[in-house]
Structure 1
Amino acid sequence: MSCEHLICAACAGPVVEGRCPVCREGRAKLHNHGFLGLTPLTITLIVLLVVALVATVGHVSGY
């Protein structure tokens, strides 16, 4: 979804311009990027790296 064509109910301006706090909040909600601002791809890569690290440490230690 894009905020290009949305009109703010508080200031009657385009949400994309972020004229008032309501616009800025709405724009931030539309452009939110996952957990802690990370994209889903980045989160997936971090999880895969942790799993690989745990597997490597387990293999090296002999478990």
Structure 2
Amino acid sequence: MTYDRLVCANCAAPVSEGRCPVCRASRERLQQQNPFSHVNPVTLIALFVVLIAALALVAHQTV
């Protein structure tokens, strides 16, 4: 889960904006737990597609 969709219960703002100390602490905790939390999901999908294409190319050349 990415933290850009989470809403802070303390200030009712998105956690990604870090408006209050609770938001900032939650944002830091989430970034430490998952190093890919700051990466856009579309970017992750694009990287996955590139990986699949590279694997297909390698498999095609070995045949």
TM-score normalised according to structure 2 size: 0.51
Residue 35 to residue 48, structure 1, CA distance change in 2 (3 Å): farther
In structure 1, stretches of 5+ residues that fail to align are 9-14
- 1:32-47 alignment, distance < 5 Å: 36=36, 37-47=38-48
- 1:1-63 alignment, distance < 5 Å: 7=11, 17-18=19-20, 20=21, 22-26=22-26, 28=27, 36=36, 37-62=38-63
Q: Which has the higher contact order (CA 8 A, sep 6+)?
A: 2
Runs of 4+ with deviation above 4 angstroms: none
- The count of aligned residue pairs is 48
Q: Secondary structure at the match of 1:38?
A: coil
In structure 2, stretches of 5+ residues that fail to align are none
Computed over aligned residues only, the root mean square deviation of the Cα atoms, in angstroms, reads 3.3
TM-score normalised according to structure 1 size: 0.51
Q: Which has the greater radius of gyration? A: 1
Distance in 2 (CA, whole Å) between partners of 1:23 and 1:39 is 20
Q: Which has the higher helix share?
A: 2
Residue 48 to residue 35, structure 1, CA distance change in 2 (3 Å): farther
1:26-62 alpha-carbon deviations (Å, 9 max, x no partner): 5x38xx8x86121101100010000000000000110
Q: How much identity, in percent, do the aligned residues show?
A: 19
